[in-house]
Amino acid sequence: MRNVKWVAAAAGVVLLVAGCGSEGGSDKGGSASVTGGTGASGSGGGKLDAAAVTKEIEAAATGAGFAQDSSGDDIAPELKDCMITWTADAEKAADPVKSYGGTITALTGGGWKELRSNEMNGSVIKSLEKSGWTLQASNHAQGPLKMVMFVAADSGPECAAKIAADNEKARQSS
């Protein structure tokens, strides 16, 4: 249960960043509707779905030297079309900092646009966007706790409402 609440909070951060990330008032992400598993690949301006986003993150991360942490975070069933998480097993990576950088390079090479980057106390969090999705790529691999996580959320209004409702439900149960 702890993991689910953390993911919901992370999704809230993703949405907060997505809301502040528009450049020049234009929406470069295209349609904000949820495709609900259509398998859209995002090529040719199409809308990505959760499966396509997962596939892109997994390909970039594993290609850069990460393995997925099998104990990753569960997403509530009602949010499966709206957000994904992919947690790297940073302990097993030869060089988690290099693998994180390689993952970001692969994602940006695949059409993800970096919106901003924040670094504090050895941790790096980058915000990227593509096709109506906002991705928070977090690298906390410096120091004793090694954690690298990718949390993506569909930034459309339908998913924003679902995530906000889930966050409120989690807050009330705390």
Contact 61, 99 (CB under 8 A): yes
Quote the mean pLDDT of the chain.
78
pLDDT computed for residue 174 by the predictor = 79
- Determine the 3-state secondary structure of 124 from DSSP: strand
Euclidean distance between CA atoms 110 and 166, whole angstroms = 31
In the prediction, which pLDDT does 72 show? 66
Per-residue pLDDT tens digits for 123-141: 999 999 999 999 999 999 8
Q: Which amino acid is at 131?
A: S
Given this model, what pLDDT does residue 10 score?
Answer: 45
CA 158 – CA 49 distance, rounded (Å): 13
End-to-end CA distance of the chain: 11
User: Which string of b and e fits 25-42 if b means at least 16 CB within 10 Å?
Assistant: eeeebeeeebbeeeebeb
> What's the chain's Rg over C-alpha atoms?
15
For the whole model, what pTM was predicted?
A: 0.74
Amino acid identity for residue 92 in this structure: K
